[in-house]
Structure formats: structure tokens, C-alpha cells
Amino acid sequence: MYAAGGVLAVHTERGTSIVPANRVAWTPAGCTHQHRAHGDTDMRIVFLAPSLARLVPDRPVVFLASALAREVLLALTGPRADAAAPGYSPSARARLHRVLVEELREAHEQPLHLPEPQDDRLRAIARILRETPADNSTLAEFGRTVGAGSRTLSRLLRAELGMTFYEWRTQLRVHHALVLLAEGHDTTRTAYACGWSNPSGFIAAFTDIIGTTPGRYRAGGG
């Protein structure tokens, strides 16, 4: 799956991945998943034959999309997400599929992945942060709400998600920021809505995780 415009959220049992225009998501056959589009999304979907699918991971993956991979995806899906690639013979389409797979095999995995916690107390905090990403409560303050100490919650975050609370909340906020930018909000409004005290801090965090500034991303230059 590839979002030529807008942003996709792909949900699996492992958690949620955000797929902006500089990423491509691969979901193997038989993997239960859901996806949701945010903003004016131009979603492209390409199916791989089993002989090619076995060359890419047998698990959901989000890759950094090369310029060539993006062009091949656009060529295979035509001018619209529901259109077949015009003017290509079956053999030409087969070659394009092989090029796409080779690009994915060489691509770096760059997941914008927010793993789903299993502990009920972490799940409760996750719900609060998804509903109000600007909430700046400390982990200790959240702990009083869910009935656990900050040390216990920190240990659970490390064990279940491999992250600190700061890293987890930053990832969640950047996920939310991608949705807001796709819906047309500007950088300043998005920064404050996601809990940053100033736009510069938001720009730095966003660029570190996404690989481009919010302004460039919003302008389609991701």
C-alpha cells in the first residue's frame, strides 16, 4: 500500500503504522489488518504473485520508499487508485513488479510504528494520549490515574514496547501530527495541538522521525 497523497494508518495485531507519502507498507497474505485514510488520500495498492511475495518479509513492514519505487507504484496503478496501468503489456507489468520487489529488498525498514501495549494500565494511558495528545501530564501523574507507580510503568514500557515514556509519547504525537497535516492544518497549529510548547521543538522532533520538515511534508515534498 502506498499513499501518493494524504496519509494511511495501518492497524494490525502488533499495533499501528502510519504510512505517509515517503513510505510504503507491505502486508503479507493472511495477515489480518485494517487501514484508514486521513485527509485527501490517494491510496495505491499493488498485489504480488506468490513467487515475488516470498522475496519480501513474511510480516508487515513499512519501508522508506525510493524515488524509483514510488514511480513504479504510480505506473502500476495508473493515474487513479482504481485504474489499471494503461499501455502496459502483461510482460511489461511483470517486469515492473520485479523492479518494485528489488527496490523493496534494498530499502531500509523505517517503520512509523506505534506498538500496542498489552498491560491494561498502559492501554488506559494510550487511550488518554490518543484522545488528548497535548496532555503534558507526567508519567507519575498518569500513574495516579491508572493505579500504578512511575517505576512500574517505566519498566512495563521498556519490557513491552522497548521505549521510554518520552519516546512513546513523542511517537504518538508525531503520528497524530501526520494526520493533522494531511487534513490541512499548518505547522504552528499542529505543534500546539500535539503538545509542543513551540513550533521549533515540534519541527525538530518531526524531522528526526519522519526525515523531512512538517512544511515540506505538507507541501508534498516528503
Domains of the chain by start residue, with CATH = 2-106 (no CATH), 117-218 (1.10.10.60)
Mean pLDDT value across residues 69-86? 72
Mean pLDDT value across residues 127-145? 95
| Segment holding 80, helix H or strand E | none
**Residue 201's pLDDT is what?**
95
Distances (CA, A) of 123 to 13, 18, 68, 164, 178: 14, 19, 39, 15, 22
The mean pLDDT of the chain is 87
Taking phi over 0 as left and psi of -120 to 50 as alpha, with beta for the rest, 30 belongs to left
Mean pLDDT value across residues 148-161? 94
Q: For residue 164, what pLDDT band results from cuts at 50, 70 and 90?
A: very high
Higher-pLDDT residue of 190 and 15 is 190
* Alpha-helical segments (H) within the chain: 50-53, 67-77, 90-106, 120-131, 139-146, 150-161, 165-182, 187-193, 199-210, 214-218
Q: Does the pLDDT at position 82 exceed 50?
A: no
Mean pLDDT value across residues 110-132? 87
For 60, the grid coordinates are 508487515
Q: For residue 87, what pLDDT band results from cuts at 50, 70 and 90?
A: low
**Residue 148's pLDDT is what?**
95
Range of weakest confidence among 34-43, 82-91, 167-176: 82-91
Q: Does the pLDDT at position 81 exceed 70?
A: no
Mean pLDDT value across residues 196-217? 90
